[in-house]
Structure 1
Amino acid sequence: MCARIYIPDRNQNPAAKTSRTRWHFLRGFSARTLAEELAQVTNRPSTAPPAAPHATSSHGWLRHTSEAWVGREAPGPPGPHGAFARGRALLASYAFSDPEIVAGHFDPQAPLLGRPMVLELKACGFRYLCGVVVSDVRDERGKTETAFGYRYDTRAGHVEAGTEWFVLTKDHLTGDLCFRIEAIWRPGDFPNWWSEVGFGLVERRARQDWHRLAHLRMRHLLEAGDLLPVVSPSPREGRGHHDARVRRPPTRALARQRASALAHEAQSPAANAMPRRTRDMLRRWGLSVALGAVTGLRSMMGPALVSRWLRAHPTHPCWTRTATLMATPVLAHALSLLAWAELAMDKLPAAPSRMAPLPLAGRAAMGMLVGLVLGGRRSRARRVAAGAGAMSAVGAACLAHRVRALAAPRGKRTSFATALLEDVIAFGIGHAALRALR
């Protein structure tokens, strides 16, 4: 049963005019900012759709629905410690959402019905804070099935206007658990025109990825029955912020691999024959090569990206003494400033050649530093990762130098465009590599 939502006229409501979408680029939000945003959510007007039949495509409203099997327990009504009970906790804590795409911040002590939430939307290095409020809760037990779920409605300042249902259902006859997501939405409030353009370009793919990963994460967490959400409020805040993390969160790359493995599980029984430690080590070496290539293109970008990533993941198992040093606030800000300065200086005609002995050695050293951080705790793996990062940095520097040399005779515009393209490629590789690091 859905309550009728009244949408106030934004032209007559001063609160709507003062609602502004907060956004950052290449950096997250402080605990204080999140707390301030969370406190303002309930004061903003709702932008949810009206009751049917007005929420139709002719009125600009779009629908997106996905449903998937996520687990099974013994037939009959749900038990107190079964998969359905765990699923309820995961659903209420927003743990099914991939935090690399949408992270939820809220007070876990607040009642579910009426709970304000701040969703941190992440795309291409940009982060947007968008407010929603849980407006309805469904908790039903019938003869043939049991269902639990809730709906949240967007508030002014959200880049989307709409409502979304999340429902977990158990079939008493088979014991199957089904997870359903149903959204009604249309474009909402954007902080600037280019955010609206970018949203139109990436929205469809990002929505599909998020829905697919939500089902995969729910299934993964229900299979790992001992892994419940870990509440980790910020030490500077103490309350009002909730990061629904788990100890083994599947990232986008892991989810895709897992989807393939689940689809071909019966036909490929040896798909996971390689030991997990070996797979993890090879993956870290690959990431060291990728971040080493970034330092070859832009010597300070790789360390700056890794430093910011470490600050955002203080409990990650890759932490070592080197990682602790790189994550200090002073060094993190210094690396960021140096990275921005390098981006500007690279476009100047007087910029030194990257193939000179000193700049090339510096790029190799930065690649080695990145490899030491990503190599993990085992000394042998770290040495290999450091060497891979250094060699990758040198190789990428040589390749980029050759490309720039070919572009130079074509004029200053072509050379400048090549430099900008190099910036985009370096950032894209680094961002993708760190997203794959779990």
Structure 2
Amino acid sequence: MNPARDWVFGRLDTTRAWADLADAGINYSVTEVRRPTWNIDTHRKELPSERPGEPEPEGSWALACRLVHDYEFSPPEIVRALYDPATPLLGRDMLLEARFHMMHFYCGVRITEVVDETRDNGDRVWGWAYETLDGHLERGKVTYEVVKHQHSGAVEFVASSYSQGAPTLDRITFLGWRVFGRRTQLRFYRRCGERLRAFVEAGLRGERVPAGPPLRAGRLVCAPTDAAAHRWDALALHRVAPG
């Protein structure tokens, strides 16, 4: 058996770290969220358009929804996720690996909302949101949506969020967050949109998206599928639940 497919996050016991999330709670209250102490962001990326009207069965919107469902849009050089694909999307726990150069932080999130609606303005929207759990280096919520503007046929990916660094970060993590945190956060959202557009374009050309099986740890899968295990991951500084 290939050890890299068991230890998908370097030397971390990923199965145990993921299982521990079941006992974690949301680490903030929405009543706390306000500027200027919280970052409130909306990032949009135009995707290939369709004809006006309902989403096309094999079109841009449907393909983007599938990729968003499986967290394939996440740039593996910044954030990877481990989860059980057999669990329902709503309520699913995900162990995230945030990669800041040679510092790897392992934090839990829980999917607390699934969006599947046609809005009053005619937009067809599908997506989901996760919130941060106890021990996360951040506090907040991120919502990922695929939107088809049915009047025009335009399709876009929208990531909206509110967040702040956890006030309980240990000294090493706090220094890493101060140096890399906000800059990496903004790069993450930009890369998410770029990757999703590239994958949708490839899928519409008839290419297999994603290509190949994901890394696995038992019944858990690592997303995105193109995340690769590297020998030097074992040399990184690993911090589990740093907040």
* Same fold flag (TM > 0.5): yes
Paired amino acid for 1:227: R
Q: Aligned to 1:92, which of 54, 69, 74?
A: 69
Task: State the number of aligned residues.
Answer: 222
For each residue in 1:245-291, what CA deviation from the matched residue of structure 2 results, as whole angstroms up to 9, or x when unmatched?
Answer: 24xx8xxxxxxxxxxxxxxxxxxxxxxxxxxxxxxxxxxxxxxxxxx
Structure 2 counterpart SS, 1:205:
helix
Question: Aligned equivalents of 2:191 and 2:215: distance in 1?
Answer: 24
Question: Is there any run of 5+ residues in structure 1 with no aligned partner, and where?
Answer: 1-26, 250-310, 314-326, 337-438
Q: Aligned runs of 1:344-383 on 2, under 5 Å?
A: none
Q: What is residue 183 of structure 1 aligned with on the other side?
A: 161
Question: Aligned equivalents of 1:132 and 1:232: distance in 2?
Answer: 20
Q: Aligned to 2:27, which of 37, 47, 50?
A: 47
Query: CA separation of 1:48/1:29 partners in 2, compared to 1, >3 Å: closer, same or farther?
Result: farther
Q: Aligned runs of 1:200-279 on 2, under 5 Å?
A: 200-225=178-203, 226-229=207-210, 230-234=212-216, 237-246=217-226
Paired amino acid for 1:29: G
Question: Aligned equivalents of 1:148 and 1:107: distance in 2?
Answer: 21
For each residue in 1:137-172, what CA deviation from the matched residue of structure 2 results, as whole angstroms up to 9, or x when unmatched?
Answer: 100135722001111000011100111111110011
Asked if structure 1 preserves the Cα contact closer than 8 Å seen for 2:10 and 2:229, the reply is: no
Question: Aligned equivalents of 2:9 and 2:83: distance in 1?
Answer: 16
Question: Aligned equivalents of 2:47 and 2:165: distance in 1?
Answer: 30
Q: Aligned runs of 1:13-28 on 2, under 5 Å?
A: 28=9
Question: Aligned equivalents of 1:134 and 1:224: distance in 2?
Answer: 28
Question: Aligned equivalents of 1:118 and 1:170: distance in 2?
Answer: 30
Paired amino acid for 1:99: P
Seq. identity, %: 26
Q: Aligned to 2:81, which of 91, 98, 104?
A: 104
Relative contact order (C-alpha < 8 Å, sep 6+): which is higher? 2
Q: Aligned to 2:229, which of 312, 329, 335?
A: 312
Question: Aligned equivalents of 2:131 and 2:182: distance in 1?
Answer: 20
Is the counterpart of residue 130 in structure 1 residue 107 in structure 2?
yes
Question: Aligned equivalents of 2:168 and 2:229: distance in 1?
Answer: 25
Question: Aligned equivalents of 2:222 and 2:229: distance in 1?
Answer: 14
Paired amino acid for 1:144: G
Q: What is residue 118 of structure 1 aligned with on the other side?
A: 95
Instruction: Give the structure-1-normalised TM-score.
Output: 0.47
Question: Aligned equivalents of 1:105 and 1:127: distance in 2?
Answer: 14
Structure 2 counterpart SS, 1:242:
strand
Asked if structure 2 preserves the Cα contact closer than 8 Å seen for 1:149 and 1:166, the reply is: yes
Is the counterpart of residue 80 in structure 1 residue 54 in structure 2?
no
Question: Aligned equivalents of 1:89 and 1:34: distance in 2?
Answer: 25
Radius of gyration: which is bigger? 1
Instruction: Give the structure-2-normalised TM-score.
Output: 0.82
TM superposition shift of 1:231: 4.2
Question: Aligned equivalents of 1:160 and 1:190: distance in 2?
Answer: 10
Query: CA separation of 1:241/1:189 partners in 2, compared to 1, >3 Å: closer, same or farther?
Result: farther
TM superposition shift of 1:61: 2.5
TM superposition shift of 1:191: 5.9
For each residue in 1:341-362, what CA deviation from the matched residue of structure 2 results, as whole angstroms up to 9, or x when unmatched?
Answer: xxxxxxxxxxxxxxxxxxxxxx
TM superposition shift of 1:192: 2.9
Question: Aligned equivalents of 1:67 and 1:84: distance in 2?
Answer: 14
Q: What is residue 170 of structure 2 aligned with on the other side?
A: 192
Is the counterpart of residue 66 in structure 1 residue 46 in structure 2?
no
For each residue in 1:94-120, what CA deviation from the matched residue of structure 2 results, as whole angstroms up to 9, or x when unmatched?
Answer: 111100000111112211100100110
Question: Aligned equivalents of 1:240 and 1:209: distance in 2?
Answer: 27
Asked if structure 1 preserves the Cα contact closer than 8 Å seen for 2:75 and 2:224, the reply is: no
Query: CA separation of 1:124/1:242 partners in 2, compared to 1, >3 Å: closer, same or farther?
Result: closer
Asked if structure 1 preserves the Cα contact closer than 8 Å seen for 2:215 and 2:225, the reply is: no
Question: Aligned equivalents of 1:241 and 1:119: distance in 2?
Answer: 12
